[in-house]
Structure 1
Amino acid sequence: MSRRAGGRPGRRTAPLSLLLPALVTVALLLLPLAYLVLRAGSSGRGWRVLARTNTLELLWSTGLLVASVTAASVAIGVPLAWLVTRTDLPGRRLWAVAGALPLVIPSYVAAFCLLGAFGPRGLLQQLLGVERLPEIYGFWGALVALTLSTYPYVFLLVATALRGLDPALEEAGRGLGQTPAAVFRRVTLPALRPSIGAGALLVALYTLSDFGVVSLMRYDALTRAIYLQY
């Protein structure tokens, strides 16, 4: 195997037969976006729309939702993946299947279920016999619905990475007197970062493009604002 100076393995150059189709695909995907940017810039109106206070507020609210859902999904997906792959949790296989089940339920259906349970005149209100429950519409409702719908992206990728990680590395760390927390921070987490990053990216893109949940929860995100505008 070829090596670079310093003993590191060299990387093979991508063959032209693979590189050329990839570049063509990327160019075709970027063409519509480039057209929109040029069309907006030619008239000058597009930049004025972007500079409006309302547009900036929409960008902020959308970014806040994307960041919050991504962080919450990572906070749920990583520990759950750890439990089903690195512990003797009873029924681990059942938990592994249950953890991925939200992927088969559309996010807007999850939002409907939340509204039916916790919304005005919902199931919980009837069971408790109270006149009013805390408001579920808005940011918090969208956050809960989207988090429950997207955390499996992180969970599945991290669980797969943990199954492929040699446990001997963690055992060696514990053999050197490291605490379980230190072993996770210094040995396990660096190996999981690519999987966590990939899962977080999928969650962020899903949240950014979502329309059903933000519409049902009446949260002012970009997708809902565009629909109401046009």
Structure 2
Amino acid sequence: MTNSFLKLATEGNKAAILKQQIICQYILGGDSSITDLSKAVNLSVPTVTKLIGELIDEGFVHNFGEQGTAGGRRPNIYGLNPYAGYFVGVDLRKDSVMMAAINFKGQLIDETTVDFLMDNDPRSLDRLCDVIQNFIRARKIVRDKVLAVGVNISGRVNSQTGYSYSYFFVEEQPLTMLLEERLGTTVYIENDTRAATYGEYMYGDAHSEKTMLYINASWG
């Protein structure tokens, strides 16, 4: 197992970006044949076939075999390998932290909420990392299969640079870098309201809406 293409995509590698598009299509559209996939991502069948073969070798995509049709040749169906890796979501609140783990196919593994008093200092950051580490260990997830941890935090957040200017702005380093050093995996941060808005847009009641307004009336 390797997550090299995930990192290469962020560096602008063309083949890795195309693989990322294929993964996104499988997330949004579900399992499909190579022919249907090539139409969805607007790539030639030979190109998609090559990329799918590499993704299978890397362990991210699985060949589910032939699927019956009304007539004619039965196509092989491909989709995401749920055991390829895992993602951990962390939602920081006023006096608690909610965490959830999903597999590579987006299926919920487990979720929990634990008490956590957030202070704006390095010790609080260390405690947060301990809470996340304990959550991962308790679910018996192999560490090198944790592909990324996403952290939602209130206040001013720059998700592109990885800086949080309201909390844990304690060193001249992005918060993502501080978390990655402690957790040993890729970390992304986002403002909690923006993250919740996007979640509702992608999978909530506002799914497929062209315009939506999300109001976060909370402790902040």
Q: When the two structures are superposed, what TM-score results if normalisation uses the length of structure 1?
A: 0.24
Higher normalized contact order (CA 8 Å, seq sep 6+, divided by chain length): 1
TM-score normalized with structure 2 length: 0.24
Name whichever structure is richer in helix by fraction: 1
Higher-Rg member (1/2): 1
